[in-house]
């Protein structure tokens, strides 16, 4: 082996070693901001709370079957004195936008949506919908 080849090979080994050490010490890249979807609503005539609960269970089954962790739907009802006109909050919690998009693209989630569509369409006719992203550092 020539001296020049040894120097180049040695330099490459040093460079790769330093790059590996720097990469190991670098902080993990953030996955993205967590987000929530909020549907404020009242029960429409002919729809019961039990039907909404069953729809949410079905949708959560679709989320679980999609294979993603950290996402869930929850139902909240006003308790005590109320400041607004809506009695219910259907909340979706998502680790990040990429997970949200991936779940909503799965066969499992879309099948659950199809099965619950008649209830959800009625519930969300007069909803107030907002999406929230997590404020980092709070």
pLDDT at 1 over 90: no
Summarize the confidence of residues 32-54 as an average pLDDT: 95
pLDDT at 12 over 90: no
Residue among 112, 111, 75, 80 at smallest CA distance from 91: 75
Residue 131: which H helix or E strand, with range?
Answer: strand 128-133
- What letter would DSSP give residue 69? S
- Domain boundaries 35-133, corresponding CATH code: 3.30.70.100
Q: What is the pLDDT of residue 137?
A: 81
Strands in 35-41's sheet, in edge-to-edge order, are: 72-77, 88-94, 35-41, 128-133
> Are 43 and 86 a contacting pair, CB within 8 Å?
no
Summarize the confidence of residues 67-95 as an average pLDDT: 93
pTM for this one?
Answer: 0.73
pLDDT at 74 over 60: yes
Query: Can you give the residue ranges of every domain in the chain?
Result: 35-133
């Amino acid at each position: 082996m020539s001296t020049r080849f040894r120097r180049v090979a040695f330099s490459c080994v040093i460079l790769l070693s330093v790059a590996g050490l720097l990469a190991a010490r670098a902080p993990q890249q953030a996955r993205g901001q967590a987000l929530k979807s909020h549907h404020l609503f009242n029960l429409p005539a002919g729809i019961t709370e039990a039907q909404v609960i069953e729809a949410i269970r079905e949708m959560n089954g679709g989320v679980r079957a999609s294979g993603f962790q950290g996402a869930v739907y929850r139902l909240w009802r006003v308790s005590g004195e109320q400041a607004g006109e809506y009695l219910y909050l259907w909340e979706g919690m998502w680790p990040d936008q990429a997970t949200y998009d991936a779940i909503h693209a799965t066969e499992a989630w879309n099948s659950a949506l199809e099965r619950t569509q008649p209830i959800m369409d009625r519930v969300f006719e007069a909803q107030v919908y907002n999406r929230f992203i997590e404020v980092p550092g709070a």
